[in-house]
A and B are shown apart, each in its own frame.
Chain A
Protein backbone atom coordinates (compact mmCIF):
# COMPACT_ATOMS: atom_id res chain seq x y z
CA UNK A 1 0.00 0.00 0.00
CA UNK A 2 1.26 3.38 -0.94
CA UNK A 3 0.87 5.38 2.22
CA UNK A 4 0.03 8.57 0.40
CA UNK A 5 -2.46 7.24 -2.07
CA UNK A 6 -5.67 5.61 -1.02
CA UNK A 7 -8.21 4.81 -3.75
CA UNK A 8 -11.31 4.24 -1.67
CA UNK A 9 -11.21 4.66 2.05
CA UNK A 10 -10.80 7.11 4.88
CA UNK A 11 -8.03 9.10 6.46
CA UNK A 12 -8.40 9.95 10.12
CA UNK A 13 -6.30 13.06 10.52
CA UNK A 14 -5.27 15.46 13.27
CA UNK A 15 -5.14 12.79 15.93
CA UNK A 16 -3.32 14.04 19.00
CA UNK A 17 0.24 12.69 18.76
CA UNK A 18 0.49 9.37 20.58
CA UNK A 19 -3.24 8.56 20.52
CA UNK A 20 -3.38 6.66 17.20
CA UNK A 21 -3.31 3.25 18.86
CA UNK A 22 -6.18 4.25 21.18
CA UNK A 23 -8.27 5.08 18.12
CA UNK A 24 -7.12 1.90 16.41
CA UNK A 25 -8.34 -0.16 19.34
CA UNK A 26 -11.48 1.86 19.83
CA UNK A 27 -12.58 1.37 16.20
CA UNK A 28 -11.49 -2.28 16.38
CA UNK A 29 -9.41 -1.85 13.25
CA UNK A 30 -7.58 -5.06 14.11
CA UNK A 31 -10.71 -6.86 12.89
CA UNK A 32 -10.37 -5.48 9.35
CA UNK A 33 -8.64 -7.35 6.52
CA UNK A 34 -7.68 -4.30 4.47
CA UNK A 35 -4.39 -2.46 4.68
CA UNK A 36 -4.14 0.18 7.33
CA UNK A 37 -1.34 2.67 7.87
CA UNK A 38 -0.64 4.26 11.20
CA UNK A 39 1.55 7.31 10.95
CA UNK A 40 2.95 8.53 14.22
CA UNK A 41 4.36 11.96 14.97
CA UNK A 42 3.78 13.41 11.52
CA UNK A 43 4.64 17.09 11.47
CA UNK A 44 1.69 19.43 11.51
CA UNK A 45 1.58 23.19 11.16
CA UNK A 46 -1.39 23.42 13.44
CA UNK A 47 -0.44 20.86 16.06
CA UNK A 48 3.33 20.49 15.88
CA UNK A 49 3.03 16.72 15.84
CA UNK A 50 0.04 14.58 15.02
CA UNK A 51 -0.93 10.99 14.30
CA UNK A 52 -2.77 9.85 11.19
CA UNK A 53 -4.57 6.60 10.37
CA UNK A 54 -5.23 5.63 6.75
CA UNK A 55 -7.70 2.86 6.06
CA UNK A 56 -7.84 1.47 2.56
CA UNK A 57 -11.43 0.35 2.47
CA UNK A 58 -14.92 1.80 2.44
CA UNK A 59 -15.99 1.63 6.05
CA UNK A 60 -19.49 1.45 7.30
CA UNK A 61 -19.00 2.41 10.90
CA UNK A 62 -20.16 5.12 13.22
CA UNK A 63 -17.27 7.52 13.33
CA UNK A 64 -19.10 10.13 15.42
CA UNK A 65 -18.07 8.44 18.63
CA UNK A 66 -14.52 9.49 17.70
CA UNK A 67 -15.58 12.97 18.77
CA UNK A 68 -15.75 11.71 22.32
CA UNK A 69 -12.19 10.40 22.19
CA UNK A 70 -10.72 13.48 20.54
CA UNK A 71 -12.90 16.31 19.19
CA UNK A 72 -10.04 17.77 17.10
CA UNK A 73 -9.96 14.78 14.78
CA UNK A 74 -10.97 15.26 11.16
CA UNK A 75 -12.12 12.48 8.89
CA UNK A 76 -11.37 12.57 5.15
CA UNK A 77 -13.40 10.35 2.87
CA UNK A 78 -11.50 9.30 -0.26
CA UNK A 79 -13.24 7.99 -3.37
CA UNK A 80 -11.45 7.07 -6.60
CA UNK A 81 -8.32 8.63 -5.22
CA UNK A 82 -10.00 12.00 -4.59
CA UNK A 83 -10.96 13.70 -1.38
CA UNK A 84 -14.74 13.89 -1.54
CA UNK A 85 -15.59 14.87 2.01
CA UNK A 86 -13.78 16.37 4.96
CA UNK A 87 -15.63 15.99 8.22
CA UNK A 88 -14.97 17.35 11.65
CA UNK A 89 -16.26 14.94 14.21
CA UNK A 90 -18.52 16.45 16.81
CA UNK A 91 -19.31 15.25 20.26
CA UNK A 92 -22.00 12.63 19.66
CA UNK A 93 -25.38 13.18 21.33
CA UNK A 94 -25.34 9.65 22.75
CA UNK A 95 -22.67 7.09 23.47
CA UNK A 96 -23.79 3.48 23.48
CA UNK A 97 -21.38 0.97 24.97
CA UNK A 98 -18.43 3.30 24.46
CA UNK A 99 -17.82 3.99 28.13
CA UNK A 100 -19.11 2.19 31.20
CA UNK A 101 -20.91 3.76 34.13
CA UNK A 102 -18.63 3.66 37.15
CA UNK A 103 -21.23 4.60 39.75
CA UNK A 104 -21.41 1.58 42.10
CA UNK A 105 -24.99 2.54 42.99
CA UNK A 106 -26.09 2.41 39.33
CA UNK A 107 -28.31 -0.46 38.15
CA UNK A 108 -25.75 -1.14 35.39
CA UNK A 109 -23.33 -2.29 38.11
CA UNK A 110 -25.42 -5.38 38.88
CA UNK A 111 -27.88 -6.01 36.04
CA UNK A 112 -26.33 -7.98 33.18
CA UNK A 113 -26.66 -7.12 29.53
CA UNK A 114 -27.96 -3.59 29.86
CA UNK A 115 -26.45 -1.30 27.25
CA UNK A 116 -24.38 1.44 28.87
CA UNK A 117 -25.86 4.58 27.36
CA UNK A 118 -24.68 8.12 28.00
CA UNK A 119 -26.30 11.35 26.83
CA UNK A 120 -24.45 14.59 26.15
CA UNK A 121 -25.86 17.04 28.70
CA UNK A 122 -23.44 19.92 28.25
CA UNK A 123 -21.88 20.31 24.82
CA UNK A 124 -19.70 23.25 25.84
CA UNK A 125 -18.00 21.30 28.60
CA UNK A 126 -18.41 17.90 26.96
CA UNK A 127 -20.31 16.44 29.91
CA UNK A 128 -21.98 13.08 29.43
CA UNK A 129 -24.38 11.52 31.92
CA UNK A 130 -25.52 7.93 32.32
CA UNK A 131 -29.19 7.71 31.27
CA UNK A 132 -29.98 5.46 34.24
CA UNK A 133 -28.32 7.16 37.22
CA UNK A 134 -27.36 10.52 35.64
CA UNK A 135 -23.84 10.37 37.02
CA UNK A 136 -21.07 11.76 34.85
CA UNK A 137 -17.88 9.74 34.32
CA UNK A 138 -14.72 11.37 35.57
CA UNK A 139 -13.27 13.62 32.88
CA UNK A 140 -10.81 11.80 30.64
CA UNK A 141 -7.21 12.51 31.44
CA UNK A 142 -5.18 13.88 28.60
Chain B
Protein backbone atom coordinates (compact mmCIF):
# COMPACT_ATOMS: atom_id res chain seq x y z
CA UNK B 1 0.00 0.00 0.00
CA UNK B 2 1.52 3.31 -0.95
CA UNK B 3 0.97 6.84 0.20
CA UNK B 4 0.14 9.19 -2.63
CA UNK B 5 -1.71 12.38 -1.96
CA UNK B 6 -1.87 13.48 -5.55
CA UNK B 7 -0.82 12.37 -9.01
CA UNK B 8 0.39 15.27 -11.12
CA UNK B 9 3.24 13.80 -13.16
CA UNK B 10 3.86 10.15 -14.02
CA UNK B 11 7.22 10.33 -12.22
CA UNK B 12 5.36 11.01 -8.95
CA UNK B 13 5.00 7.21 -9.02
CA UNK B 14 7.98 4.92 -8.52
CA UNK B 15 8.31 1.87 -10.79
CA UNK B 16 7.30 -0.24 -7.76
CA UNK B 17 4.13 1.82 -7.27
CA UNK B 18 3.34 1.46 -10.96
CA UNK B 19 3.77 -2.32 -10.61
CA UNK B 20 1.36 -2.26 -7.68
CA UNK B 21 -1.23 -0.32 -9.68
CA UNK B 22 -0.85 -2.70 -12.62
CA UNK B 23 -1.26 -5.73 -10.33
CA UNK B 24 -4.47 -4.24 -8.91
CA UNK B 25 -5.77 -3.38 -12.40
CA UNK B 26 -5.11 -6.93 -13.56
CA UNK B 27 -6.90 -8.31 -10.52
CA UNK B 28 -9.88 -6.05 -11.33
CA UNK B 29 -9.90 -7.44 -14.88
CA UNK B 30 -9.82 -11.03 -13.56
CA UNK B 31 -12.24 -10.56 -10.66
CA UNK B 32 -14.56 -7.62 -11.35
CA UNK B 33 -17.17 -8.80 -8.82
CA UNK B 34 -14.72 -8.46 -5.97
CA UNK B 35 -14.51 -4.71 -6.61
CA UNK B 36 -18.11 -3.74 -7.31
CA UNK B 37 -18.77 -2.19 -3.91
CA UNK B 38 -15.29 -1.12 -2.91
CA UNK B 39 -16.10 2.58 -3.25
CA UNK B 40 -19.67 2.50 -1.96
CA UNK B 41 -20.64 5.91 -0.54
CA UNK B 42 -17.48 7.50 -1.93
CA UNK B 43 -17.67 10.41 -4.37
CA UNK B 44 -15.36 11.31 -7.23
CA UNK B 45 -15.50 14.93 -8.43
CA UNK B 46 -14.56 15.39 -12.07
CA UNK B 47 -13.60 19.06 -12.48
CA UNK B 48 -13.17 19.60 -16.20
CA UNK B 49 -12.31 23.23 -16.88
CA UNK B 50 -12.05 22.28 -20.53
CA UNK B 51 -14.07 19.56 -22.20
CA UNK B 52 -12.56 16.12 -22.73
CA UNK B 53 -15.45 13.71 -22.97
CA UNK B 54 -13.22 10.68 -23.44
CA UNK B 55 -11.12 11.18 -20.32
CA UNK B 56 -14.08 12.25 -18.19
CA UNK B 57 -16.11 9.19 -19.18
CA UNK B 58 -13.17 6.95 -18.36
CA UNK B 59 -12.87 8.39 -14.85
CA UNK B 60 -16.63 8.30 -14.30
CA UNK B 61 -16.97 4.73 -15.59
CA UNK B 62 -14.08 3.70 -13.33
CA UNK B 63 -15.74 5.17 -10.23
CA UNK B 64 -19.15 3.69 -11.10
CA UNK B 65 -17.61 0.22 -11.59
CA UNK B 66 -16.26 0.49 -8.06
CA UNK B 67 -19.73 1.28 -6.70
CA UNK B 68 -19.00 4.94 -6.04
CA UNK B 69 -20.76 8.08 -7.31
CA UNK B 70 -19.66 10.98 -9.44
CA UNK B 71 -20.22 14.73 -9.19
CA UNK B 72 -18.64 17.57 -11.15
CA UNK B 73 -18.75 19.79 -14.19
CA UNK B 74 -17.42 19.44 -17.67
CA UNK B 75 -16.78 22.91 -18.95
CA UNK B 76 -15.70 26.00 -17.14
CA UNK B 77 -18.44 28.30 -18.43
CA UNK B 78 -21.00 26.30 -16.48
CA UNK B 79 -18.94 26.52 -13.33
CA UNK B 80 -17.80 28.98 -10.75
CA UNK B 81 -14.60 29.48 -12.75
CA UNK B 82 -16.58 31.55 -15.24
CA UNK B 83 -17.54 33.84 -12.36
CA UNK B 84 -13.88 34.47 -11.71
CA UNK B 85 -13.31 32.02 -8.88
CA UNK B 86 -9.72 30.81 -8.63
CA UNK B 87 -8.70 27.18 -9.02
CA UNK B 88 -7.58 27.26 -5.39
CA UNK B 89 -11.00 28.31 -4.13
CA UNK B 90 -12.92 25.95 -6.41
CA UNK B 91 -10.86 23.04 -5.14
CA UNK B 92 -11.17 24.09 -1.50
CA UNK B 93 -14.94 24.09 -1.89
CA UNK B 94 -15.17 20.84 -3.82
CA UNK B 95 -12.94 19.03 -1.37
CA UNK B 96 -15.68 19.65 1.20
CA UNK B 97 -17.99 17.41 -0.84
CA UNK B 98 -15.86 14.88 -2.66
CA UNK B 99 -13.50 12.13 -1.48
CA UNK B 100 -11.22 12.41 -4.50
CA UNK B 101 -10.85 14.85 -7.41
CA UNK B 102 -9.91 14.33 -11.06
CA UNK B 103 -9.12 17.66 -12.69
CA UNK B 104 -8.61 18.79 -16.26
CA UNK B 105 -7.52 22.37 -16.94
CA UNK B 106 -6.22 24.24 -19.99
CA UNK B 107 -3.43 25.91 -17.98
CA UNK B 108 -0.25 24.03 -17.19
CA UNK B 109 0.27 23.41 -13.49
CA UNK B 110 -3.36 24.02 -12.45
CA UNK B 111 -3.78 20.53 -10.94
CA UNK B 112 -0.60 21.08 -8.95
CA UNK B 113 -2.06 24.24 -7.42
CA UNK B 114 -5.20 22.22 -6.74
CA UNK B 115 -3.24 19.50 -4.98
CA UNK B 116 -1.56 22.08 -2.76
CA UNK B 117 -4.92 23.46 -1.66
CA UNK B 118 -7.09 20.37 -1.55
CA UNK B 119 -7.81 18.28 1.53
CA UNK B 120 -8.56 15.22 -0.62
CA UNK B 121 -6.42 13.46 -3.27
CA UNK B 122 -6.15 15.17 -6.67
CA UNK B 123 -5.51 13.38 -9.96
CA UNK B 124 -4.28 15.38 -12.93
CA UNK B 125 -6.58 14.49 -15.83
CA UNK B 126 -4.60 16.66 -18.24
CA UNK B 127 -3.19 20.18 -17.85
CA UNK B 128 -2.86 21.89 -21.21
CA UNK B 129 -0.03 20.46 -23.26
CA UNK B 130 1.87 19.52 -20.13
CA UNK B 131 1.03 16.26 -18.31
CA UNK B 132 -1.56 13.54 -18.56
CA UNK B 133 -0.34 10.82 -16.19
CA UNK B 134 -3.40 8.56 -16.32
CA UNK B 135 -2.99 8.27 -20.12
CA UNK B 136 0.56 7.12 -19.47
CA UNK B 137 -0.68 4.60 -16.90
CA UNK B 138 -3.10 3.26 -19.54
CA UNK B 139 -0.17 3.00 -21.98
CA UNK B 140 1.93 1.17 -19.39
CA UNK B 141 -0.83 -1.30 -18.46
CA UNK B 142 -1.30 -2.05 -22.16
CA UNK B 143 2.42 -2.61 -22.70
CA UNK B 144 2.54 -4.87 -19.63
CA UNK B 145 -0.47 -6.93 -20.74
CA UNK B 146 0.70 -7.26 -24.32
CA UNK B 147 4.42 -7.74 -23.73
CA UNK B 148 4.55 -9.05 -20.16
CA UNK B 149 7.48 -6.78 -19.22
CA UNK B 150 8.97 -3.31 -19.63
CA UNK B 151 12.64 -4.21 -20.01
CA UNK B 152 14.39 -4.84 -23.35
CA UNK B 153 11.78 -3.10 -25.51
CA UNK B 154 12.37 -1.01 -28.62
CA UNK B 155 9.67 1.63 -28.79
CA UNK B 156 8.96 3.74 -31.85
CA UNK B 157 7.19 7.08 -31.43
CA UNK B 158 5.67 8.53 -34.57
CA UNK B 159 4.10 11.89 -35.39
CA UNK B 160 4.20 15.02 -33.28
CA UNK B 161 7.11 14.42 -30.93
CA UNK B 162 7.67 18.10 -30.24
CA UNK B 163 4.38 18.97 -28.56
CA UNK B 164 3.03 15.49 -27.81
CA UNK B 165 2.68 15.35 -24.04
CA UNK B 166 1.73 11.67 -24.05
CA UNK B 167 5.00 10.95 -25.85
CA UNK B 168 7.07 12.91 -23.33
CA UNK B 169 5.33 11.28 -20.36
CA UNK B 170 5.76 7.76 -21.69
CA UNK B 171 9.45 8.43 -22.37
CA UNK B 172 9.83 9.66 -18.78
CA UNK B 173 8.19 6.50 -17.50
CA UNK B 174 10.09 4.07 -19.75
CA UNK B 175 13.64 5.38 -19.22
CA UNK B 176 13.49 3.84 -15.76
CA UNK B 177 13.50 0.29 -17.15
CA UNK B 178 16.48 -1.78 -18.36
CA UNK B 179 17.71 -1.79 -21.95
CA UNK B 180 14.88 0.26 -23.43
CA UNK B 181 15.57 1.80 -26.86
CA UNK B 182 13.66 4.50 -28.69
CA UNK B 183 13.14 5.28 -32.37
CA UNK B 184 11.77 8.78 -32.97
CA UNK B 185 9.89 9.08 -36.26
CA UNK B 186 8.79 12.58 -37.20
CA UNK B 187 9.10 15.38 -39.73
CA UNK B 188 11.93 17.84 -39.09
CA UNK B 189 9.43 20.39 -37.75
CA UNK B 190 8.12 18.08 -35.02
CA UNK B 191 11.29 16.44 -33.72
CA UNK B 192 11.73 15.54 -30.07
CA UNK B 193 12.83 18.67 -28.13
CA UNK B 194 16.51 19.05 -27.20
CA UNK B 195 15.83 19.31 -23.48
CA UNK B 196 14.32 15.81 -23.51
CA UNK B 197 17.42 14.51 -25.23
CA UNK B 198 19.80 16.06 -22.72
CA UNK B 199 17.79 15.98 -19.49
CA UNK B 200 16.01 12.64 -19.96
CA UNK B 201 17.63 10.45 -22.61
CA UNK B 202 21.31 11.31 -22.25
CA UNK B 203 20.97 11.67 -18.49
CA UNK B 204 19.80 8.04 -18.36
CA UNK B 205 22.23 6.78 -21.05
CA UNK B 206 19.37 5.69 -23.29
CA UNK B 207 20.01 4.52 -26.86
CA UNK B 208 17.84 6.27 -29.43
CA UNK B 209 17.76 7.28 -33.06
CA UNK B 210 15.79 9.78 -35.11
CA UNK B 211 14.36 9.22 -38.55
CA UNK B 212 11.83 10.78 -40.87
CA UNK B 213 10.80 7.42 -42.30
CA UNK B 214 8.00 5.39 -40.76
CA UNK B 215 9.08 2.21 -42.59
CA UNK B 216 12.82 2.33 -42.02
CA UNK B 217 13.04 0.77 -38.54
CA UNK B 218 9.63 -0.93 -38.62
CA UNK B 219 11.05 -4.46 -38.38
CA UNK B 220 12.94 -3.65 -35.16
CA UNK B 221 10.06 -2.23 -33.14
CA UNK B 222 8.27 -3.99 -30.28
CA UNK B 223 5.88 -1.08 -29.78
CA UNK B 224 4.81 1.63 -32.21
CA UNK B 225 3.24 4.63 -30.48
CA UNK B 226 1.34 6.73 -33.03
CA UNK B 227 0.24 10.33 -32.40
CA UNK B 228 -1.69 12.95 -34.28
CA UNK B 229 0.07 15.40 -36.56
CA UNK B 230 -2.00 18.53 -36.10
CA UNK B 231 -2.49 21.09 -38.81
CA UNK B 232 -2.01 24.02 -36.42
CA UNK B 233 1.56 22.89 -35.67
CA UNK B 234 2.69 23.87 -39.17
CA UNK B 235 3.59 27.30 -40.43
CA UNK B 236 1.98 26.73 -43.77
CA UNK B 237 -0.66 24.50 -45.24
CA UNK B 238 1.66 23.22 -47.97
CA UNK B 239 4.08 21.65 -45.44
CA UNK B 240 1.20 20.05 -43.61
CA UNK B 241 -0.28 18.54 -46.74
CA UNK B 242 3.14 17.37 -47.89
CA UNK B 243 3.95 15.65 -44.60
CA UNK B 244 0.71 14.37 -43.18
CA UNK B 245 0.48 11.27 -45.36
CA UNK B 246 4.06 10.17 -44.68
CA UNK B 247 2.99 9.48 -41.12
CA UNK B 248 -0.16 7.52 -41.81
CA UNK B 249 0.06 3.90 -40.69
CA UNK B 250 -1.39 1.35 -43.11
CA UNK B 251 -1.33 -2.45 -43.24
CA UNK B 252 1.11 -2.13 -46.11
CA UNK B 253 3.61 -0.24 -43.97
CA UNK B 254 3.16 -2.85 -41.24
CA UNK B 255 4.23 -5.73 -43.48
CA UNK B 256 7.81 -5.80 -42.23
CA UNK B 257 6.79 -5.44 -38.57
CA UNK B 258 7.26 -8.21 -36.01
CA UNK B 259 4.21 -10.49 -35.64
CA UNK B 260 3.76 -9.47 -32.01
CA UNK B 261 4.51 -5.77 -32.42
CA UNK B 262 1.86 -3.55 -30.73
CA UNK B 263 0.43 -0.39 -32.22
CA UNK B 264 -0.66 2.12 -29.57
CA UNK B 265 -2.37 5.51 -29.94
CA UNK B 266 -3.70 7.79 -27.18
CA UNK B 267 -6.77 8.59 -29.35
CA UNK B 268 -8.64 10.39 -30.77
CA UNK B 269 -7.09 9.68 -34.13
CA UNK B 270 -7.75 11.72 -37.23
CA UNK B 271 -6.29 9.82 -40.16
CA UNK B 272 -2.89 8.77 -38.88
CA UNK B 273 -3.93 5.14 -38.52
CA UNK B 274 -5.82 3.84 -41.49
CA UNK B 275 -9.09 2.14 -40.48
CA UNK B 276 -7.98 -1.11 -42.13
CA UNK B 277 -5.33 -1.49 -39.43
CA UNK B 278 -8.07 -1.85 -36.80
CA UNK B 279 -8.46 -5.55 -37.66
CA UNK B 280 -4.71 -6.18 -37.69
CA UNK B 281 -3.82 -8.28 -34.60
CA UNK B 282 -1.09 -5.74 -33.82
CA UNK B 283 -3.65 -2.97 -33.23
CA UNK B 284 -3.95 -2.39 -29.47
CA UNK B 285 -5.41 1.12 -29.29
CA UNK B 286 -8.92 0.10 -28.38
CA UNK B 287 -7.60 -2.28 -25.73
CA UNK B 288 -5.69 0.74 -24.47
CA UNK B 289 -9.00 2.58 -23.90
CA UNK B 290 -10.34 -0.32 -21.81
CA UNK B 291 -7.09 -0.54 -19.91
CA UNK B 292 -7.41 3.19 -19.20
CA UNK B 293 -10.58 2.54 -17.24
CA UNK B 294 -9.09 -0.36 -15.27
CA UNK B 295 -5.94 1.52 -14.32
CA UNK B 296 -8.04 4.51 -13.21
CA UNK B 297 -10.03 2.13 -10.99
CA UNK B 298 -6.80 0.87 -9.48
CA UNK B 299 -5.58 4.44 -8.99
CA UNK B 300 -8.79 5.58 -7.29
CA UNK B 301 -8.62 2.59 -4.90
CA UNK B 302 -5.00 3.23 -4.03
CA UNK B 303 -5.44 6.95 -3.53
CA UNK B 304 -8.48 6.42 -1.32
CA UNK B 305 -6.49 3.87 0.67
CA UNK B 306 -8.97 1.07 -0.03
CA UNK B 307 -7.48 -2.45 -0.18
Contacts and interface: CB of A to CB of B under 8 A. Distances in A.
Given A105-B107, A106-B108, A132-B108, A111 B128 contact: no
A84 interface: no
A114 B107 contact: no
Q: Which among A103, A131, A133, A135 has the greatest number of chain B C-beta atoms within 10 A?
A: A133
B70 interface: no
Given A112-B86, A132-B108, A105 B113 contact: no
A134 interface: yes
B113 A132 contact: yes
B130 A110 contact: no
B86 A132 contact: no
A105 B199 contact: no
B199 A107 contact: no
A85 to B, nearest CB: 35
Contacts, number: 49
Nearest to B128: A105
A79 B251 CA distance: 79
Interface in B181-197: 195
Contacts of B13: none
Interface string A100-127: 0001011111111010000001100000
Given A107-B105, A121-B199, 15 more contacts: A103-B108, A105-B108, A105-B128, A106-B109, A107-B109, A107-B127, A111-B107, A114-B88, A122-B199, A130-B109, A131-B109, A132-B112, A133-B108, A134-B130, A136-B195
Interface of B: 86-88, 105-110, 112-113, 127-130, 195, 199
Interface of A: 103, 105-112, 114, 121-122, 130-136
